[in-house]
Amino acid sequence: MEKMQFKAESKRLLEMMINSIYSQREVFLRELISNASDAIDKIYYRALSDDSLHFNKEDYYIKVAADKETRTLTISDTGIGMTKDELENNLGIIAKSGSLAFKNENELKDGHDIIGQFGVGFYAAFMVADVVTVISRALGSDEAYKWQSEGADGYTIEPCDKSDVGTEIYLKIKENTEDEKYDEYLDEYRLKSIIKKYSDFIRYPIKMDISGKRPKEGSEELEDYKEEQIINSMVPIWRKNKNELSAEDYEKFYQEKHYGFDKPIKHIHISVDGSIRYNAILFIPEKIPFDYYSKEYEKGLELYSNGVLIMNKCGDLLPDYFSFVKGMVDSEDLSLNISREMLQHDRQLKLIAKNISKKIKSELQALLKNERDKYTGFYQSFGRQLKYGVYSDFGSNKELLQDLLMFYSSKEKKLVTLDEYVSRMPEDQKYIYYAAGESNERIEKLPQTEVVADKGFEILYFTDEIDEFAIKMLMNYKEKEFRSVSSSDLGLEEEDKEQDLQDENENKELFSYMKEVLGDKVKDVRISKRLKSHPVCLSADGEVTIEMEKILKAMPD
Ligand code: ADP
Ligand code: MG
């Protein structure tokens, strides 16, 4: 038996990698399962061009088994296997990817199901194992070989027996230390949940012998049993045809994924096969998550590359104003970095994010148009976020969001859109009027609303602090400016300036007395045509209205 050495740099690289690439140890299993899946895929692709090979899907699977007594975790597959050379090249040379070479050699333009590309994933096994043993027999060969390594020290290869084509990987799981626990990687339940988390959509069955207790036949006594189960769901729902899926299927997915405890108001299933290919399933929740308007809330979508989970919450996929959206994106066109936890560059991601935003907007618009009640419910939960979106806008959010806004209407006594408001405006109405206050009831009683309401004009009630700020950013909608009912110029019919002057002169003494009494609480005391049934009202000059002033004053400096 000949012992071979890693080259010096490789040795360092291996140490470095084992300890620093991955942020979580559990991904070792994702890496080994991905390799097994690639190995099966390779037989599948071979069979496409080789008539002597038949690919029976039933014959191909991955098996994970743990033995606590010997501290051994085994991952075996019925894939293409490795020859002696391949064991040396692919497992002995770090950063050499047999899978990438396979894709290139076979010019597999559609070989995008093959996951491997960097040639480092395998070594993740050393994060949890002292000794890694690989027994493999390659397709078309009757020899099998055993590769074994204790990490940076090097590896050995020797012939061995194996009856079927495929690969078995034995991990001797490390002993627990004071600070580090490794037992969990021998625990059925834990292994199962790691598989579910990262490898649920691997296309081949991942089997495990699961033990449990069940009632003995014909008796109440319980007996232990072990039963082979398939752990992964295999076909991801997002790759299925939309027509085959029911609303319940999506709901089930929403719940299984723990996106929320509510029932989503709407699901959006996107399949794009353009310059960038991706599938996405998005949900608009019904209820506000308890932490939604807090700092703890983290927006984002799950990001998959080829059915393998890469990131739990990819924040870059969602703009802040759609931060309530839940769901996932799967793309085969992402350029992953070596740990496969991040992306090398975000060009593709930006494209996907842009696409997704447009789609969410149009779906929300459709909801507004076709299912008004549902939309209103949604708006009551998340409308504020849309308004923040308008307010914090520097670019194009405005265009994107303005049609989704709703405000309570004095006339309709319900939430209406700006479009609805404008389309109802009589010809002599210059502005979109609004009144700000704590509640609809309070606003209704505001003296300032009277003149506008008496003209028969509709008033929008702003009860959210953000409302007026957002509208200031919008400035106008369909060329109609917004105007607060407490503004000094309401743009109503020409006011009679002469009469005003005369009135002012007649009351000069009274006004200057009032000004004296009120001191710097007011800037001026003027005659007003605004009032019908109320004796006085406050009005504001300039951009900042009284309501805004209140909010600004209440804000911490
Ligand atoms: P990558 O998967 O990115 O290529 P890995 O370090 O995970 O890198 O694996 C290196 C290479 O080893 C793979 O490209 C493949 O050629 C080979 N390999 C690893 N595991 C298996 C397996 N279970 N069956 C067949 N070949 C394998
Ligand atoms: Mg790999």
**Among 164-173, 308-317, 354-363, 530-539, which is the least confidently predicted range?**
530-539
For residue range 101-140, what is the model confidence (pLDDT) as tens digits?
A: 888 887 665 555 778 878 889 999 999 999 999 999 999 9
Residue percentage of the chain with pLDDT more than 90: 52
Burial 385-420 (b: 16+ CB within 10 A, else e): bbbbbbbebeeebbebbbebbbbbbbeeeebbbbee
Residue 141 pLDDT exceeds 90: yes
Query: Is pLDDT larger for residue 149 or for residue 112?
Result: 149
| Mutate which of 28, 90, 169 for ligand 1 pocket (most atoms within 8 A of beta carbon) | 90
Local confidence band at 529 (pLDDT 50, 70, 90 cut-offs): low
- Residue 286 Cα to ligand 1 midpoint, Å, equals 44
- Residue 114 Cα to ligand 2 midpoint, Å, equals 9
Residue 494 pLDDT exceeds 60: no
3-state secondary structure of 141: coil
pTM for the predicted model, two decimal places = 0.73
Residue 285 pLDDT exceeds 90: yes
Binding residues: 31, 35, 77, 82, 90, 96-98, 117-122, 167, 340
List Cα–Cα distances, 397 to 118, 319, 413, 470, 511, in angstroms.
Answer: 39, 10, 28, 11, 47
The mean per-residue pLDDT over the stretch 162-174 comes to 97
**Who lines ligand 1 at CB under 6 A?**
31, 35-36, 39, 77, 79-82, 90-91, 97-100, 116-122, 167
Whether the CB-CB separation of 417 and 444 falls below 8 Å is answered with no
How many angstroms separate the CA atoms of 90 and 147, rounded? 11
Local confidence band at 1 (pLDDT 50, 70, 90 cut-offs): confident
Binding residues for ATP: 31, 35, 77, 82, 90, 96-98, 117-122, 167, 340
ipTM above 0.90, yes or no: yes
Q: Is 480 exposed, middle or buried (0-12, 13-18, 19+ CB in 10 A)?
A: middle
For residue range 306-359, what is the model confidence (pLDDT) as tens digits?
A: 888 888 899 999 999 999 999 999 998 887 776 677 676 678 899 999 999 999
Residue percentage of the chain with pLDDT more than 70: 87
- Residue 98 Cα to ligand 2 midpoint, Å, equals 9
Ligand that lies nearest to the alpha carbon of residue 135, given by its number in the listed order: 1
Highest mean pLDDT out of 38-42, 469-473, 511-515, 522-526: 38-42
pLDDT at 18: 73
Local confidence band at 53 (pLDDT 50, 70, 90 cut-offs): confident
**Is the Cα dihedral 195, 200, 205, 209 positive or negative?**
positive
Helix (H) or strand (E) holding 384: helix 372-391
